[in-house]
Amino acid sequence: MLGRRPRHWSAGRRFELNTRHGDERRFLIMTRTRLAGSVATAALIVAAVTSCASDGPAPVPSPTTSAAPTLTSPAPPTTSTATATPPTDSEIAANAASAVLREFYDVRSQLRQDSSRSLTLLEDVAISTELTAQRNLFEREREQGLRQIGETKIVELEVTSVNLDNSDPSAGKVPTVQIELCFDVSGVDVVDQDGKSAISPDRPDTGWIQFQVANYEWDTNPEDAWRVASSQDIERTPCATS
């Protein structure tokens, strides 16, 4: 039963108890402080470990192996048809007329080198007044026994205008491409039956001619019906021999 302390407790006893109680309180305070410090330290350690786990250094990339390069021929460049601009009618006409003019010179060389070849070949490359003029020239040369040695070379070919007016073909209003061409005949000779040259020694090696290349079948054949319709000599700075 709890009650008042016995009177016989001395002051020394009270001092001892007080001292003991004070020591116990100090021990409890220190213990709590140490526990709090330990908890805080543990929390810091956990936080540090967590931080290291989430914010650690970037992983070292593993080495990759690549196949040894194979020496092959480079692929030809590809062109994108989706973005390419289609040629205009004028560009198509200019290209077709230029091609037939080159063929015109090839046919002329064949006919002058071999008199057995038919003059009807001219109809594939010439029309109108040019066809008539070329036919008359070859008939006259063949009567004289002349033949060509060597090839005429085209040094320069320049499209100077394109007119696609097809309003009146019967009157000659048909699509026409004008081309100026410089030729080189430095390697060409025309000889008679005895092999004697019929060329004047004053003949220049190069010269310029202006051609009108027309298409009389534009409505039905806009690409393949181009023919040389006329020609005339023009004065321009001489081109270099090829």
For residue 147, the surrounding DSSP H or E stretch is: strand 147-149
Residue with tokens 């000779």: 189
Q: How far is CA 141 from the centre of its chain?
A: 49
Length of the chain: 242
Instruction: Encode pLDDT of 98-122 as tens digits.
Output: 999 999 999 999 999 999 999 999 9
CA angle 208–211–214, rounded 5-degree value: 170
* pTM for the whole structure: 0.65
Q: What's phi and psi for 227, nearest 5 deg? A: -140, 150
**The predicted structure's pLDDT at residue 115:** 95
Contact indicator for 215, 175 with CB cutoff of 8 Å: yes
**The predicted structure's pLDDT at residue 23:** 46
25-33 average pLDDT score:
43
In one letter, which amino acid is 194? Answer: D
Q: Which residue has the higher pLDDT, 132 or 2?
A: 132
Residue 15 has pLDDT above 90, yes or no: no
Question: Among positive and negative, which fits the CA dihedral 121, 123, 124, 125?
Answer: positive
For residue 97 the two structure tokens come to 């007329």
Contact indicator for 151, 187 with CB cutoff of 8 Å: yes
For the chain, which residues make up each domain, given as ranges? Answer: 89-234
Q: What is the DSSP string of 159-202?
A: EEEEE---SBGGGTB--EEEEEEEEE-TT-EEE-TTS-B-S-TT
In one letter, which amino acid is 102? Answer: R
Q: How many CB atoms lie within 10 A of CB 184?
A: 19
**The predicted structure's pLDDT at residue 241:** 81
For residue 87 the two structure tokens come to 């040629």
Looking at the domain that runs over 89-234, which CATH code has it been given?
3.10.450
Q: Which residues are paired to 126 by β-bridges?
A: 228
| Cα(61)–Cα(120) distance, integer angstroms | 78
For residue 166 the two structure tokens come to 């097809």
Residue 83 has pLDDT above 80, yes or no: no
